[in-house]
């Protein structure tokens, strides 16, 4: 008699615990993926800023050919950001005087031949500061379940990163 009353309880317990466990597993995976994207973006921005910091006024003098273009810097940023697609990233390159070059999306600047940092306002002089910043739109199905979000849409989080360096060469 007692066995008959407990019939099916294992399935109900597994269902209740299984739903929570599966949601926890999916949540952990997507949180880790989002953090990976953020850290790769921050590292890529920092490395790209270091790359651009040695491409100042001395690279544009006759006899030197180490100057960088907006396209080279955008490609460097995209190649350093492993796992972050350049089509979902917006990059901005800002000089000490506030002149900003924006690439939205980043892949739109891959063929831009403009020398950067520019010589206007002496922004490519040694000691001036340059800033490279990027923002990435991370889409996660985990945010689909977030309270208050509209139904049938994936959640979106903007992940920003910026780095400032002094021109060294």
Please give the tally of structural domains in the chain: 1
Note down the domain range covering 48: 2-166
- Predicted confidence (pLDDT) per residue in 52-101, tens digit: 999 988 887 888 888 899 999 999 999 999 989 888 899 999 999 999 99
In this prediction, residue 22 carries a pLDDT of 87
Q: What is the pTM of this model?
A: 0.82
Spell out the residues 6+ positions from residue 137 whose beta carbon is closer than 8 angstroms to its own: 88, 156, 157, 158, 159
103 close to 137: Cβ distance less than 8 angstroms: no
- pLDDT higher than 80, residue 11: yes
């Amino acid at each position: 008699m007692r066995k008959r009353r407990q019939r099916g309880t294992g399935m109900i317990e597994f269902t209740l615990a299984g739903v929570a466990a599966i949601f926890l597993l999916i949540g952990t995976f997507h949180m880790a993926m989002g953090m990976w994207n953020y850290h790769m973006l921050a590292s890529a921005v920092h490395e790209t800023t270091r790359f651009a910091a040695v491409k100042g006024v001395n690279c544009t003098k006759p006899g030197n050919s180490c100057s960088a273009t907006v396209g080279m810097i955008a490609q460097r940023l995209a190649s350093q950001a492993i796992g972050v697609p350049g089509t979902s990233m917006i990059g901005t390159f800002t000089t000490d005087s506030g002149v900003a070059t924006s690439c939205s999306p980043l892949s739109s600047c891959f063929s831009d031949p403009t020398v950067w940092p520019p010589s206007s306002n002496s922004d490519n002089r040694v000691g001036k500061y340059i800033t490279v910043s990027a923002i990435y739109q991370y889409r996660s199905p985990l945010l689909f379940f977030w309270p208050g979000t509209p139904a049938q849409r994936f959640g979106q989080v903007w992940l920003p990163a910026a780095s400032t360096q002094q021109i060294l060469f």
